[in-house]
Structures are given as structure tokens and as C-alpha cells.
Amino acid sequence: MAIKLRERYRSELRAATLAEARDLIKNEGYEGLTLRKLAQRMQCSPMALYTYFADKQALLTALALEGFEKLARRHQSTSRREPLSALRKIMLDHIAFARENPTEYRILFLTARPPAAVKKTRQEIQENNPAFRLLFKCVQSCIEARVLQGDPFTISTIALTAAHGAASLLITLQDFPFGAPRQYAEEVVATTLSGLQNPKRAADGCIDRC
């Protein structure tokens, strides 16, 4: 019983620390986030937090992983859709997640990280990022259904790039006249999927325009 209570306390303290860290980042930015300041807000000793997070980067990594899992749960609702429709929804959900959770999104995708945290292999990305893993599986289904052709990882990164670009602009350039955010997101996704379905036509069109 004592062990279970101790584990429950540790789990609750870790969750409370992450929640407090998100609130601190929202109010003071990344520069204002320190484990010492978190300890003061939570009325505990800094050493208590160092038990869970070795440093600020470890805390940001934990916040990012939590965010990826939250985004992945949102993507799971697409599993019964037709492959291309599912891919479209995953991309739109990615953009919607950013607009609904701008602080978490900045932690996930817009926070500077040390080189060691950025240099990942394809396998490591799929193992450590559940949201990308679901996107990748969806792209594989599209290729198996012959609605897309090409390397699944490359196509996945292109889809992610388009969704991430739209999401980042919507939360960082809120005064830019994008029009209705939902319509803008749908146009970005539709244009990207059209290009992925017809890569030669898209390339020829680019050559003609250039």
C-alpha cells in the first residue's frame, strides 16, 4: 500500500509540475521557465523537481512528449476513414490542435533544441513521436490503396511540413489577413494533397510559372 501511495504521489507531482510549467511558459515565455521558479510556485524544494527532471531541457522534452501523445489521440479518430480522407483530417487536426493549444504547439515545434535532440533517424522519429507514427501509417495506407505514390516517409514529411507551416503562421501571425482560419487550413491541405496525388502535374505547373 505504501509503495502504491508513493507512486501515486510521484505521478501527481509530475503531472502538476508539467501543468505549472505550461502555465509559466504561457505567461512568461520560455526564458521565464526554470525549475527553481517552478518550485517556488509549487511551494516545494527545487530538489523535489530535480528528481523528475534533470534540467530545463528534460522538462521541455517531457512537455513535448505529452503534447505528441495528446495530438496522437486526436488523430486516432481517423482510423475508420478512407485513407486519403483520413490523411486530410490528420493534417487539419494538426492545424486545429495548434490553434486550440498554442502554448503546447510552441513547445512541440517552435522551441529551440540542442543538436542531439534534433538529429534523429527515421526509426527514432516514428518510435518517439506517436503523432507522426499515425500520420506515417495513414500515408502507407494511401500508397497501398494507390491514391498516392512514392516513399511513405518523404510523403509524410511533406504533409507534416504543409500542416506545420499553416499552423505556425496562424498562431504567430494572427494579424495577417489569412481570411477564415478554417478555410485557409482547408485550402493549404487541399493544395498539398492535390500536389501529392499529381506530382508531375504540380512540377510541370511550377516550371511553367517559373
Which pLDDT score is estimated for 82? 92
The whole-angstrom distance between residue 147's C-alpha and the CA centroid of its chain comes to 25
pTM: 0.73
- At 60 the pLDDT is 80
pLDDT at residue number 115: 46
Q: Which residues contact 196 (CB under 8 A, 6 or more apart)?
A: 148, 150, 155, 158, 159
Q: Are 90 and 74 in contact (CB under 8 A)?
A: no
Four-residue CA torsion sign, 59, 60, 61, 66: positive
45 and 39 in contact (C-beta within 8 Å)?
yes
Q: Do the Cβ atoms of 156 and 95 come closer than 8 Å?
A: no
Q: What local confidence, expressed as pLDDT, does residue 188 receive?
A: 97
Domain boundaries, the chain: 1-53, 64-209
CATH superfamily, domain at 64-209: Tetracycline Repressor, domain 2 (1.10.357.10)
* Residue 148: C-alpha distances to residues 18, 36, 137, 145, 199 (Å): 39, 50, 13, 8, 10
Confidence (pLDDT) at 204: 55
Give the pLDDT of residue 81.
83
pLDDT at position 87 is 95
Grid coordinates of 76? 486516432
Running along the chain, 210 residues long, what does each successive block of 10 average in pLDDT? 63 83 81 84 84 82 78 75 93 92 79 54 72 91 95 95 96 91 96 89 51
| The domain defined by 1-53 carries CATH number 1.10.10.60 | yes
What are the residues whose beta carbons fall under 8 Å from the beta carbon of 22, sequence distance 6 or more?
A: 63, 103, 104, 107
pLDDT of residue 55: 85
- How many angstroms separate the CA atoms of 165 and 73, rounded? 21
Three-state DSSP string of 132-197: HHHHHHHHHHHHHCCCCCCCHHHHHHHHHHHHHHHHHHHHHCCCCCCCCHHHHHHHHHHHHHHHHH
